[in-house]
Amino acid sequence: MSKLHRPLGTLSDDADPVRLTPDSAGWTYTGLRVLRIGTRLPRTVKTGEFEAFVLPLSGSLTVRVDGEEFELEGRESVFTRVTDFVYAPRDAEVELTSETGAQVALPMARCTRRLEAKYGPAEDVPVEVRGAGQATRQVTNFGVPGVWDHADKLNACELITPGGNWSSYPPHKHDEASECEVVNEEIYYFRVAGRDGVTPSREGFGLHRTYTLDGDLDEDVAVRDHDVFLIPRGFHGPCVAAPGYPMYYLNVLAGPAPERSMAFCDDPAHGWVRDTWESQDLDPRCPVTSHEGRVR
């Protein structure tokens, strides 16, 4: 089995779908937890040496960070709405409570600076339509540099790829310090909608590719709902959503650079594809969501 592809069940902790630390990933900075919050059953998380975003995947919840309280409206699913969120600093105690039950992602990064907790409203999250033609996808830039600067190391964004489309394309990498890239460890956390295009389901699937030019890494895998793929190095992309099954993924990045950055280099064999997008129409299915809900 691939050491980089972590299917549902391989990272589970009791009832929680994902518990990934830098140690279990085999790297230094980046981690992810996905928690199930029961109805009126509070969960407490101590961030320790990590900063984190509290990002609702489904449901609404109350977040208390060191006694400060934030109400998150959340969403029905990742395919229905752009959500609000909370930034939680390192060395904090975070209490999560939901009146109706919720599922929450905690993208994390090991850091040194301790900042204050901060609320991110959904209406301030920019939604970008990237690519064109069959490479059209939605990028939800809630936690990226230049949009959200209240973080020490942590970068995160969400993508939705309509069924049959390609994303993370052209393939790109960020594993060395150069003119066009910085070093970042990256996590892909997948959710895949079922036949209704809204409700996550293990029935659907997508494809993901990661490789290096010397062939040391060369992985093409099928990914399903709740699967995780780790990117320690190399080119990654495309992610392909099977026809009929929209694909979501949460990208979590962090690295040693003194300033947060998500800079990358395209695979020179495929970067030319970007130049073709000007002559292609955007897929009308994008954008899929906004802070107000489904767009179409």
Give pLDDT tens digits for 51-83: 999 999 999 999 999 989 999 999 999 999 999
Any domain includes 290: no
Decide if 296 is inside a domain: no
Question: Residue 199: inside a domain, yes or no?
Answer: yes
Give this prediction's pTM.
Answer: 0.97
CA–CA dist 194, 264 (Å, integer): 32
Question: What does the pLDDT average to over 267-272?
Answer: 96
| Residue 173 maps to a domain | yes
* Average pLDDT of the residues of the chain: 96
Helix (H) or strand (E) holding 42: none
pLDDT of residue 99: 96
Q: How many domains does the structure of the chain reveal?
A: 1
Give the 3-state DSSP-derived string for 112-162, with helices as H, strands as E and coil as C. Answer: CCCCCCEEECHHHCCEEEECCHHHCEEEEEEECCCCCCCCCCCEEEEEEEC
pLDDT at 14: 63
Domain enclosing residue 180, as ranges: 5-275
Residue 291 lies in a domain: no
**What pLDDT digit, counting tens, does each position of 139-180 carry?**
999 999 999 999 999 999 999 999 999 999 999 999 999 999
Decide: helix, strand or coil at residue 258: coil
Any domain includes 46: yes
Cis peptide before 121 (omega within 30 of 0): no
**Domain contains 285:** no
Residue 281 lies in a domain: no
- Residue from 168, 124, 154, 163 nearest 247 by CA: 163
Pairing of strands 206-211, 218-223: antiparallel
CATH code, domain carrying 118: 2.60.120.10
